[in-house]
Chains A and B, each alone.
Chain A
Amino acid sequence: MASQIPSELKYTKDHEWAKIEGDVATIGITDFAQSQLGDIVFVELPEVGTTLDKEATFGVVESIKSVSDLYSPLTGEVIESNTDLEASPEACNSEPYGSWMIKLKLSNPNEVEELMSPEDYAGICDE
C-alpha cells in the first residue's frame, strides 16, 4: 500500500514532514515512517525553549522493539511540543500528519529551500 504524501508539506530523507507557515515550521514523522516503525508506543519530545540545529536529534520515537531518533529538519527554537503524544503515542500510527511533534520558530528560513518536495520524497519511499 503506497504511503500518503500530502502535497502541501515538505519532507526530509529521514522521513519527517514539515509544514511551513511564515517563520514557523510544524514537524512530525511521515506515513512511511510510521508504517516502517510499526506500533509506536513511546514518544519523547524536547521542552519548549530548546534550540535545535538542522539535523540535530530532538527526540525519540519507540516501537515495541525499536528506538529511533528524531532529527530536526531545520534550525530554530522549539515554541510548542505536542505533549499529547506522550499519552497517546499510537496517534503517530493512525494519523501521522495530524500528530505533529514540535513547532519550531525558524532562525534560518532559507533552509526551507533545502527540504524535499512531495515528488522527490515519493521517490525515496519507493524501494
Chain B
Amino acid sequence: MSGTLRDVSLGQTSLYQKHIDLKAKMAPFAGYDMPIQYTSVKEEVIAVRENVGVFDVSHMGEFFVEGEAAHDFVDYIITNDFMGAELHKAVYSPLCREDGTVIDDLIAYKIGREEVLICVNAANIKKDWDWIVAQSKKFKVSLTNKSEQYSLLAIQGPKSEEILKSLEILDDIEFPYYAAKRLNVLNQDIILARTGYTGEDGFEVFCSHEFAGELWDKFLSKGVTPCGLASRDVLRLEVCYPLYGHEINDEVTPLDAGLKWTVKMDKENYIGKLALSEYKPKYRLVKLSLDKGIPRDDYPILDEKENVIGKVTSGTMSVALGKGICLAHIEKEKFPESKKFLVEIRGRKYEANYHTKAFISGGHK
C-alpha cells in the first residue's frame, strides 16, 4: 500500500496519460503499466453488467496472417475449427504444441479472404510469435507482428451497441456476436469485432494509437464507465472464462481445463491433434463458491476426508453473487464422486458449493 516509484522499464499504452489523469490505480501487468481500477471495482463490474464500460487492453498482441493460405495456416495451428467459420467471423481457440500443452489462448478474426488477425495475451506475445513464425514455413503466408502499432479498446455491456451507434461507429448493418470486420469510420481505418472477455454483449476496437485517444474521450463523454483490469478479471471469472497462466498454462492441455469444446477431433490435421486424441486428462476444472471466505489463487482444495486434491487457479469475490467464487484444478484420479469440496484458507477449511454451470450466464448475444 506504500507509494511506488514509476518503473521506467514498463511499457505504456497510448492511453497511459488518460489513466493517470483519471487517477487510476496503476500496476505492472505483462510488462505494461496498466490501469487496475479507477473508482471502485464493484462499480466497474456493475457498469459492465447493467450498462456499459470501456477497457484499455492495448497491451494485447496483434498478429496479421496474410496470403492465400492464411485461413489454412491458422486452422493448422489452432485446435478449434477455423475453416468452418464464415468470412468476417472470429473463433476462440487454444494454441497448442505437438504434445497438446497450451502455448496460449487467442481469438482469430477472419477479416478477409486472405487475411486473419490473431489477438494474443500480452504476456505471451514473444513466445507465440516465435512459435507461429516457426510453424509457417510450409505455408504461403506472410506474418506481421503489429502489437506495437495497434491500440485496443473493449467496450462492454448491454448498452455498448447503443453507444457505438450514437457515435456512428456502427450503422444498422447486421453485426452479430463474434463478427469481425475492417471498417472505415470517422475517417479512420479500424477493425471492429463483437468480442470481449466479460460475458456481456460488447465490442473490441483495434485502431491506431491516435484514434484510440479520440475514441476513449468520445466514450467517456457518452457516460461510458472507464474500467480496469481488476473488474475485467471479476467479470470473466463470474462467467468462467479461462485465463492463461491460471486455468491454462504450458504444463496442461485444453482437456485439463474444461476446453474440450475447443479441441475438434473431426478436423483435419492440426498441431497437437494426435497427442490430444490419446490424452488422458490429469485435471478436472471445477467451479466452486463459498458462503464464507474468499478463495484466492493457489489455495488448497480438499475432499471430505481433508486430503488435498487440487488447488484454486483463480479466485475472487463475486460482485453478482456477493460471495467468494473460484475455478480450481482437481486431480482427476482424486476427484470425489460426492462432489463435496473444502477450500483451505489460512489454515481453516470452508465447505464449498459445487456449480455445474457458470456462476452467472452473462448477457452476450
Contact = CB atoms under 8 A, between A and B. Distances in A.
Interface stretch (A20-28, A57-65, A109-117): A57-65
Contact of B234 (A32, A60, A64, A124): A64
B296 interface: yes
Interface stretch (A34-42, A48-56, A72-80, A99-107): A34-42
- Category for how many chain B residues contact A: 20 to 34
A115 B293 CA distance: 32
A127 interface: yes
B41 A37 contact: no
Of A38, A65, A67, A124, most buried by chain B (CB within 10 Å of CB) is A65
A39 B346 contact: no
Q: Is the interface of A mostly helix, strand, loop or mixed?
A: mixed
Given A41-B294, A44-B346, A63 B1 contact: no
Given A38-B40, A67-B294, 19 more contacts: A13-B2, A15-B1, A32-B1, A33-B1, A36-B1, A38-B37, A42-B294, A42-B317, A44-B346, A63-B41, A63-B317, A64-B41, A64-B42, A64-B230, A64-B234, A65-B230, A65-B234, A65-B316, A65-B317
B1 A64 contact: no
Nearest to B42: A39
B143 to A, nearest CB: 36
Contact of A39 (B36, B41, B293): B41
Nearest to B319: A64
A60 B3 CA distance: 20
Nearest to A42: B294
A4 interface: no
Contacts of A41: 294, 317
B348 to A, nearest CB: 9
A18 to B, nearest CB: 17
Nearest to A37: B1
A94 interface: no
Contacts of B3: 124, 127
Contact of B233 (A15, A42, A65, A67): A65
A60 B346 contact: yes
Nearest to B230: A65
Q: Is the interface of B mostly helix, strand, loop or mixed?
A: mixed
Contacts of A124: 2-3
Interface of B: 1-3, 25, 36-37, 40-42, 45, 230, 233-234, 293-294, 296, 316-317, 319, 324, 346
11 contacts: A38-B230, A39-B41, A60-B346, A64-B41, A64-B316, A65-B234, A65-B316, A65-B317, A67-B294, A67-B296, A127-B3
Interface of A: 13-15, 32-33, 36-39, 41-42, 44, 60, 62-65, 67-68, 124, 127
Given A62-B317, A64-B230, A64-B234, A42 B42 contact: no
A124 B3 CA distance: 8
A81 B208 CA distance: 55
Of A42, A62, A64, most buried by chain B (CB within 10 Å of CB) is A64
B349 to A, nearest CB: 14
Contacts of B36: 65
Contacts of B317: 41-42, 62-65
Contacts of B324: 42
Contacts of A33: 1
Contacts of B25: 36, 38
Given A41-B317, A42-B294, A44-B346, A68 B1 contact: yes
A33 B45 CA distance: 22
A15 B1 CA distance: 8
Nearest to B1: A36
Nearest to A86: B292
A65 B237 CA distance: 12
Contacts of A67: 294, 296
Nearest to A59: B346
Contacts of B42: 39, 64
A65 B41 contact: yes
Of B1, B2, B316, most buried by chain A (CB within 10 Å of CB) is B1
A94 B2 CA distance: 21
Contact of A38 (B41, B294, B346): B41
B41 A42 contact: no
Contacts of A42: 293-294, 317, 324
A126 B365 CA distance: 46
Contacts of A127: 3
Given A62-B294, A65-B316, A39 B40 contact: yes
